[in-house]
Amino acid sequence: MCQKSSDSPEPKIYSAARPCLEVPEPAVLTGDEQKRKEIAQRLDTHGLLYSGKVVVDKDTKMLEMPESLAHYWDGDTTIAKEPPTVEFGIVPASPRFFGPSPRSTAGSGAYSREWSNWSQAGYYQPTGKFYATVGDTDPFDGHLYVVEYDPKTKNLRCLPELHKMLGTPDGQLRDAKIHGYLDIYEDQLWLCTYWTIYPEPAEADYATGYEGGHILSFDLGTGDMTDHGIPVKRVSWPYHRIDTKRGILYGLGFYGEFMAWDIKKRQLLYAGHPPRDMIWWWRAIMIDEVTGNVYSSYIYDPDNDVHMVKYDPHTNRFTKMETRMPHCSAKHQVIDAEKPKEVDMMRANTLNRGPDGLLWGVTKQGEMWAFDPDTEKLKAKGVNWPGLMRYTCAMERSPSGRYIYYCPGAHGMAWTEGAPVVQFDTKALKKKVIAFLHPYYSQKYGYIPSGTFSIKLDEKGESLFCLWNGGFLEAQNSDKPDFHGFFGNCAIANIRIPASERVE
């Protein structure tokens, strides 16, 4: 078992209304950031970067397939006939551009400093507002924001910066990512924080006072933030989910640590590695809220067959299951930096059983599947996208269950295949592109949407909210040898799906 930070630390509530929570723009930028700023200001011809303005478009150009896809297109994929209405705006996270970090991140495994999104999104039905997060990934001077979008007023804003709220001391290592689901439980938006030094901080970093990732929640009426403490020392959380029926928050650590935390009792039910050398893949949690069982998969190494794993909260026991992730389709192998695998890990899934009683999901390489929690059997459903950019980190199912929405190419490369928004028909097993956001937004607004981890459907199945990574950047920058995708300034796209394209 891992070391608990404390048995039941008293929660600390921080008011969103208190003064001095603003983050100023730096007086001096780094050389790279100065160049990025100059490019952004030249490309931002509609004044979106600093204004918080949301623009609205509906254009048949969003339905034009990029030439890069012509070679891969198949008969199982179509394009919508009517374009959606899209509300688009740049997240007003401050600072827009960055000065020098107080400490060099060279050799730390940290990403270059830039605004990016890694969490899944949330939706609060009483107000109709959508939520996501952004962070700048700097482990020594990082910033984290919860982003709120109100489609009724088209108001896009950031809640107060998390480290300003917490009062994180200067010089202390800090988490600079949110990497799991923004679940809503009892009118609070819940999240856990995640470090940005890999594989983990050094002893000198822990000596600054850093102890691990926090559990935080936000009051969606006032914006006040509650710090529920650091549940496990020296662990932070690249994935988390809540069983909203039982009030259990589940978290996964970078080294495969598993946490089950009872929200009402403020008690750890389990904290540590699964037993018997069982390895829980730390980027997936699938919860069946009917039974309470929690699922994921092994990782490819050491289990080449990638079996599923299960945690039963009633017995506090783990099981390696006979059920396995699906094999990659013979005619569609994903090209990856790594050797293509026959089977890969679970990566995303729908949040609850649908009307068919199934949970749907996708592997890291884009193989779709449907899982029956009653029989604990899984059926392969084919690839999620005809192109090569299949990596998908969030899925949303329509209210009546027929359609599943997702955006493949999540990690900064979706633009190479049009930044597609996909609707998957669970009856016909066909894919339909609702919109290609690239090159439309690059040509009209100078912005390249490069990929998203955050999508959320409203309760009517009419609006699909996305928070995109990307920036006011030029495509030729992708020729650089260290290129890992376009990041810089995040944007929201609220996609109002035409009724004609979502007939259940």
pLDDT of residue 330: 46
Q: How many CB atoms lie within 10 A of CB 73?
A: 13
In a domain, 279, yes or no: no
In a domain, 259, yes or no: no
Q: What is the DSSP letter of 169?
A: P
As a whole number of Å, the CA-based R_g of the chain is: 21
Grouping H, G, I as helix, E, B as strand and the rest as coil, residue 67 is helix
pLDDT of residue 380: 96
- Name which of 442, 394, 383 is nearest 418 in CA terms: 442
Upper half-sphere CA count for residue 318 (Cβ side, 13 Å): 21
pTM comes to: 0.95
pLDDT of residue 334: 45
8 Å CB contact between 448 and 473: yes
Domain that holds residue 373: 25-249+327-336+344-501
pLDDT of residue 485: 76
> How is residue 434 written in tokens?
């609702």
In a domain, 243, yes or no: yes
- Name which of 204, 371, 170 is nearest 284 in CA terms: 371
Count of domains for the chain: 1
Beta carbons within 8 Å of 48's beta carbon, 6+ residues apart: 55, 88, 89, 90, 445, 447
> How is residue 41 written in tokens?
């200001």
Q: Using CB atoms within 10 A of its CB, is residue 59 exposed (0-12), middle (13-18) or buried (19+)?
A: middle
Q: What is the DSSP letter of 446?
A: S
Residue 74: strand pairing partners: none
In a domain, 318, yes or no: no
Q: Give Cα separations from 17 to 46, 224, 373, 495 (angstroms).
A: 32, 8, 44, 31
In a domain, 145, yes or no: yes
In a domain, 137, yes or no: yes
In a domain, 356, yes or no: yes
- Name which of 39, 143, 155, 42 is nearest 98 in CA terms: 143
8 Å CB contact between 148 and 160: no
Residue-wise DSSP of 252-266? E-TTS-EEEEETTTT
One digit per residue, the tens of pLDDT, for the chain of length 504 reads 565 655 567 999 999 999 999 999 999 999 999 999 999 999 999 999 999 999 999 999 999 999 989 989 999 999 999 999 999 999 999 999 999 988 766 655 555 789 999 999 999 999 999 999 999 999 999 999 999 999 999 999 999 999 999 999 999 999 999 999 999 999 999 999 999 999 999 999 999 999 999 999 999 999 999 999 999 999 999 999 999 999 999 999 999 999 999 999 999 999 999 998 789 999 999 999 999 999 999 987 888 899 999 999 999 999 999 999 998 874 444 445 555 578 899 999 999 999 999 999 999 999 999 999 999 999 999 999 999 999 999 999 999 999 999 999 999 999 999 999 999 999 999 999 999 999 999 999 999 999 999 999 999 999 999 999 999 998 877 666 666 678 999 999 999 999 999 999
- The enclosing domain of 129 has a CATH number of 2.130.10
Q: What is the DSSP letter of 399?
A: T
In a domain, 177, yes or no: yes
8 Å CB contact between 386 and 432: no
Indicate the pairing of strand 129-135 with strand 144-150.
antiparallel
